[in-house]
Structure 1
């Protein structure tokens, strides 16, 4: 009995000692965890509009419902963030840049334009007397002519009669000098020179075909008559431009006008000689806005005594307005911006050791050289993606996050979610590696390149305003999409992404193929271009591709297209605004 009492005492002492050691520790740990949980930053979202993220509880600005705590992933990410592996970033050649403000540096607006004839120096060569053109010595436009050069021979019944009157008056000159002078002056009014009149008097022979001489020197820019035409007195024969001075006409958008003034210095470069800058000043700003392009002509006059500036030549002009040096601007590279309708988005890299990204909508200001001014949406010293932006956007879509084309977030649905081996990722670790699908079979790339070539043919058809050829090219896209062997995508996740892109590629191509209205074709070409851009960016076609952008397309919302050439040829406007656009990115 005594032995049991000893055992019970030892057990009681052990329980008391254990409580003292581990009980207090557990309480302290619980308290620490509780404090950590409370100090952890909580964000709030709307159950109906998950794109809404707020730092504190409030009402949804869209529907008015109470916000709920935003769920975090196993990695501690909030609903609007997603993670990529370091290897995936290296494979996709993703680059980031820390944004900053600029002030008092040589940076300014970049304008695009053309060389044009100086209209002030244009001249019209007219017929000084009526008749039939027997011989025309100017064969084509662009010919250089000189003052006093013979341009044509004209048979004029009026001049034949006037010469007869002159010879008759010459015989009675001693008796009636006033009649002689009147006839002679009549010929001078028809631009006959003293030497020509003297020659008629000396030879006493009537000239049937009279020469027409140029009044000015220059280049023939318009030919208005041909041999055998009958012309009236004063009728235009040729338009002649003196190209010793030319105009550089630039298109400035509405939002740029407040920063541009007459007298601002502008540095001009040509595509023919991009390394040589021509410095001059803005001499004219058109007071009337072009309602179709929403631009205003900004003009500079250039000396062209050496003839190196050709009318029609494309030029770029960089200017630093006086107001721009007075304020600080937040700028980002153009390559960082993704355009979708009215929205402009960038991807922000969160601070920390791991590559975590978040999509952010921004408000753009003026175009400043190769950058955009940021009016809202970003802060100084934030880090953003500047190369490989489409790849990051694809990763966001695959992880069900907000993206360029999916503002509300949610998984990308392909229609194959219930197929074996085709399920969407179920955890963050699986979704993190999806971007590594970029390494695909070269055979798949070759098959995709055939579709891309058909796309370029379609783009060229729209450039040339050819709706029939556009239909045929779109048909080829649909046909060759069916020939792509999806078995070459051995990774189920690669297959998943391709299926989502394939559906949109076929849909937009078929709509172009069945439409005969080129305006409607161009509308569907916007969607096709967005999707083919993603396809080429993610899978590659083993070719340098230029992503180009026109801010006037899509009802002034802006639209992109792809090209194999650096030269801008706008498929959304064709001949009407063929050169409207800029290069946004080079996809290798």
Structure 2
């Protein structure tokens, strides 16, 4: 019996030792100097990994803990979601499709060789061949034989018939002086000369003398061949001497005019050969010589006009036709030595020129790249520094890509490398907004707020109506905005029209993201807004990339999640107000 008790005690001690080893044996090991290893779920985090708050991405901490703003647990910071490089960022496929983002390869799409400049132009009327057909005496137009613009007229063709009291009196003077021709030849000759000055022919004057009767209506004949481009009088009008009746242009020759950018002016000279292709006849190449270089530059477009005169006996070239011209220059180097990108890929801010490069082939991953520009050749720029052959750059949707970079605190047009700020401040592109835009925006703001409230409430039909009203109000601003500001407004209009035509709440909210990326830079650059407007941001919207909206109230009412997360977000900026 005693042996059995001993065996039981020994077994119990052994079991206790084993259990203790299993529980505590790994807490301290030789070589750990008595320190327990920190085994937790984040062992896989890199030593230099950063931690952030999902609600406040501006918080960056080298170690886990609580968010100092909201108290939520910090999570591992996104290392770029596969984006290469510190400045790379990823866009969602859906955002890419909505913004119609397209890319093209550096060095492709070039036309001609590297020693020529490609220009865009138009066919215009040859002003040297224009003529005004006027009345040479006072009178009333009894009949007008020219009925429409574009009508062909020939020299000697009857244009109009005019009743002229002064001409009736002059004919009576002629008949009276005819009887005094032998006694007062000077008087007779003076009356005939008066009629000649009114453009009556020798034949007409002789017919009056031979008939002995006065004509009440006199014809006006065309003095040139050409095409009627403007009718300046109507039947029944009383016109003065010298007043124009029709404008005629001879289109046997036309002008080909081209716009030249300021940086290109030094490469053109009178007499230089220019090869021309009309868009209507792409297989037919014409050749001319530069006959005129405008001495005055257009201050708005920073261009001046060059032109050449082209023969047009067959009438194929119509005023208004679009042309492409190519002028050989003395520039050295071949096409293979020049990197060309479409002009739509380049963005400017101050002295910087930037493009967005697709950093991973076939993936929606981009990064900003500063470039140095050479000459502009038509609708392309020569890149002298900053890009490599074969890289892909964004050529459509560049402003949307730039907005995505700003939202992710990456290097962007207004956020230079090494100066990335994280989140509480909104980075806005500097644009010149005319004061008249302010009143248009103030009128559109109530409709925008109705749209935002409709998305908060999940009311699709109300959202469609409000988007349509917002679009109609903002359309008035299109004629007054230029350059980058106009591009932003056009993209905003596209998004509003997409919302107005959509019956899906999720899709409306996705378009609302891009609407605000383009509309908010316009608002933040608008001066002297009377009402205070808050720029608000939800960091969880847009696949955790963040999304903006504006509100007239400081309270957060999230249009991207509605009741699901009504108060998600924060005020990051404000504009207007006192």
* TM-score, structure 2 normalization: 0.56
Structure 2 partner of 1:277: 285
1:498-513 paired onto structure 2 within 5 Å: 501=514, 503-504=516-517, 507=520
Corresponding residue SS for 1:366: strand
Residue 129 of structure 1 contacts residue 234 of structure 1 at CA under 8 Å; is this kept in 2?
Answer: yes
Corresponding residue SS for 2:330: helix
Corresponding residue SS for 1:289: coil
Residue 259 of structure 1 contacts residue 321 of structure 1 at CA under 8 Å; is this kept in 2?
Answer: no
Corresponding residue SS for 1:262: coil
2-structure distance, mates of 1:266, 1:449: 52
Corresponding residue SS for 1:302: strand
Corresponding residue SS for 1:320: strand
Structure 2 partner of 1:60: none
Task: Tell me if 1:193 matches 2:201.
Answer: yes
More helix by share: 1
Corresponding residue SS for 2:290: strand
Residue 174 of structure 2 contacts residue 191 of structure 2 at CA under 8 Å; is this kept in 1?
Answer: yes
Residue 451 of structure 1, CA deviation: 9.6
The structure 2 residue matched to 1:291, chosen from 299, 313, 329, is 299
Corresponding residue SS for 2:284: coil
Task: Tell me if 1:260 matches 2:268.
Answer: yes
The structure 1 residue matched to 2:86, chosen from 55, 62, 79, is 79
Structure 1 partner of 2:371: 362
Corresponding residue SS for 1:277: strand
Residue 339 of structure 2 contacts residue 384 of structure 2 at CA under 8 Å; is this kept in 1?
Answer: no
Residue 216 of structure 1, CA deviation: 0.9
1-structure distance, mates of 2:108, 2:263: 22
Residue 218 of structure 1, CA deviation: 1.1
Corresponding residue SS for 1:163: helix
Residue 454 of structure 1, CA deviation: 8.0
Deviation digits for residues 399-426 of structure 1 (CA, Å, limit 9, x no counterpart)? 54223465444566899xxxxxxxxxxx
Task: Give aligned pairs, total.
Answer: 409
Task: Tell me if 1:318 matches 2:336.
Answer: no
1:533-544 paired onto structure 2 within 5 Å: none
The structure 1 residue matched to 2:506, chosen from 488, 493, 502, is 488
Corresponding residue SS for 2:133: strand
Corresponding residue SS for 1:276: strand
Corresponding residue SS for 1:201: helix
Task: Tell me if 1:333 matches 2:341.
Answer: yes
1-structure distance, mates of 2:173, 2:304: 58
1:511-530 paired onto structure 2 within 5 Å: none
Deviation digits for residues 63-109 of structure 1 (CA, Å, limit 9, x no counterpart)? xxxxxxxx9989896533457999x9999997663559999926633
Residue 151 of structure 1, CA deviation: 1.6
Corresponding residue SS for 1:299: strand
Task: Tell me if 1:118 matches 2:126.
Answer: yes
1:162-201 paired onto structure 2 within 5 Å: 162-173=170-181, 179-201=187-209
Residue 361 of structure 1, CA deviation: 1.3
Question: How large is the RMSD of aligned CA atoms in angstroms?
Answer: 5.3
Residue 171 of structure 1, CA deviation: 3.4
CA distance change for structure 1 residues 99 and 83 in 2, over 3 Å: closer, same or farther? Answer: farther
1:461-480 paired onto structure 2 within 5 Å: 461-462=476-477
2-structure distance, mates of 1:145, 1:479: 48
CA distance change for structure 1 residues 109 and 375 in 2, over 3 Å: closer, same or farther? Answer: same
Deviation digits for residues 182-207 of structure 1 (CA, Å, limit 9, x no counterpart)? 43333223221122122112221111
Structure 1 partner of 2:19: none
CA distance change for structure 1 residues 240 and 506 in 2, over 3 Å: closer, same or farther? Answer: closer
Deviation digits for residues 539-577 of structure 1 (CA, Å, limit 9, x no counterpart)? xxxxxxxxxxxxxxxxxxxxxxxxxxxxxxxxxxxxxxx
Task: Tell me if 1:344 matches 2:353.
Answer: yes
* TM-score, structure 1 normalization: 0.55
1:232-243 paired onto structure 2 within 5 Å: 232-243=240-251
Residue 296 of structure 1, CA deviation: 1.0
Residue 80 of structure 2 contacts residue 89 of structure 2 at CA under 8 Å; is this kept in 1?
Answer: no
2-structure distance, mates of 1:89, 1:125: 59
Residue 340 of structure 2 contacts residue 383 of structure 2 at CA under 8 Å; is this kept in 1?
Answer: yes
2-structure distance, mates of 1:182, 1:141: 39
2-structure distance, mates of 1:355, 1:474: 22
Task: Tell me if 1:144 matches 2:152.
Answer: yes
Residue 275 of structure 2 contacts residue 327 of structure 2 at CA under 8 Å; is this kept in 1?
Answer: no
Deviation digits for residues 430-460 of structure 1 (CA, Å, limit 9, x no counterpart)? xxxxxxxxxxxxxxx9999999988986786
Residue 80 of structure 2 contacts residue 90 of structure 2 at CA under 8 Å; is this kept in 1?
Answer: no
Structure 2 partner of 1:401: 410
1:85-96 paired onto structure 2 within 5 Å: none
1:371-390 paired onto structure 2 within 5 Å: 371-378=380-387, 380-381=388-389, 383-385=391-393, 390=398
2-structure distance, mates of 1:290, 1:80: 39
Residue 150 of structure 1 contacts residue 212 of structure 1 at CA under 8 Å; is this kept in 2?
Answer: yes
> Which deviates further from its counterpart, 265-274 or 321-330?
321-330
Deviation digits for residues 515-559 of structure 1 (CA, Å, limit 9, x no counterpart)? 9x9xx9xxxxxxxxxxxxxx9xx9xxxxxxxxxxxxxxxxxxxxx
Residue 335 of structure 1 contacts residue 386 of structure 1 at CA under 8 Å; is this kept in 2?
Answer: no
Residue 352 of structure 1, CA deviation: 11
CA distance change for structure 1 residues 414 and 173 in 2, over 3 Å: closer, same or farther? Answer: closer
Unaligned runs of 5+ in 2: 1-77, 427-459, 482-488, 530-541, 546-578
Task: Tell me if 1:224 matches 2:232.
Answer: yes
Residue 251 of structure 1, CA deviation: 2.0
> Which deviates further from its counterpart, 88-97 or 266-275?
88-97
Residue 277 of structure 1, CA deviation: 2.9
1-structure distance, mates of 2:274, 2:161: 47
